[in-house]
Amino acid sequence: MEFRELGQGLCVSAIGMGCMGLTESTYGPVDETESARALDRAIDLGVTLLDTGETYGRDHSNEKLVGRVVERRRGDVLLATKFGLTFDIDSGSMVVDGRPETIRASCEGSLRRLRTDHIDVYFQHRVDPRVPIEDVWGELSLLVAEGKVRYLGLSEPGMQTLRKAHAIHPVAVVENEYSLFTRDPEAEVLPTLDELGIGLLCFAPLGRGMLSGRIRSTEDFSEHDFRRRLPRYQGENFARNLELVDAVAEIAGARGLSSAQLALAWLLSRGPRVIPIPSMETRGRVEENLLAADVTLTDAELAAIEAALPHGGIGERYGVYSGLSSAESSSVC
Catalogue all structural domains in the chain, each as residue range(s) with its CATH number: 3-207+270-295 (3.20.20.100)
By the 8 A CB rule, do 141 and 308 touch? Answer: no
**Mean pLDDT estimate for the chain:** 92
**pLDDT of 11 over the 90 cut:** yes
What confidence score (pLDDT) does residue 93 get?
A: 73
Q: What is the pLDDT of residues 125-148, one digit of tens each?
A: 999 999 999 999 999 999 999 999
What confidence score (pLDDT) does residue 31 get?
A: 95
What confidence score (pLDDT) does residue 128 get?
A: 95
pLDDT band of residue 331 (cuts 50, 70, 90) is very low
**pLDDT of 116 over the 90 cut:** yes
> What percent of the chain is predicted at pLDDT more than 90?
80
Task: For 185-196, give the DSSP string.
Answer: GGTTHHHHHHHH
151: annotated active-site residue: no
Smallest Cα–Cα separation from 95: which of 322, 328, 327?
A: 322
Q: How many helices (H) and strands (E) does the chain have?
A: 10, 12
Single-letter code of the amino acid located at 134 = E
What confidence score (pLDDT) does residue 219 get?
A: 85
What span, in angstroms and rounded, lies between the C-alpha atoms of 77 and 29? 26
Higher pLDDT, 67 or 229: 67
**pLDDT of 8 over the 60 cut:** yes
Catalytic residue among 56, 122, 151, 178: 56
**pLDDT of 35 over the 50 cut:** yes
Q: What is the pLDDT of residues 53-105, one digit of tens each?
A: 999 988 899 999 999 999 999 999 999 999 999 876 666 677 899 999 999 99
What confidence score (pLDDT) does residue 326 get?
A: 35
What span, in angstroms and rounded, lies between the C-alpha atoms of 204 and 260? 12
pLDDT band of residue 206 (cuts 50, 70, 90) is very high
**pLDDT of 224 over the 80 cut:** no
Among 77-86, 87-96, 195-204, 246-255, which is the least confidently predicted range?
A: 87-96
Average pLDDT over residues 247-273: 97
pLDDT band of residue 196 (cuts 50, 70, 90) is very high
Average pLDDT over residues 172-186: 96
Task: Report helix angle 32-44 to 283-290, nearest 10.
Answer: 30
**pLDDT of 328 over the 50 cut:** no
pLDDT band of residue 330 (cuts 50, 70, 90) is very low
Average pLDDT over residues 260-264: 98
How far is C-alpha 95 from the geometric centre of its chain's CA atoms? Answer: 19
What confidence score (pLDDT) does residue 319 get?
A: 66
Return phi, psi of residue 283, to 5°. Answer: -65, -35
Task: For 35-94, give the DSSP string.
Answer: HHHHHHHHHHTT--EEE--TTSSGGGHHHHHHHHHHGGGGGG-EEEEEESEEE-TTT--E
What confidence score (pLDDT) does residue 304 get?
A: 97
Higher pLDDT, 145 or 228: 145
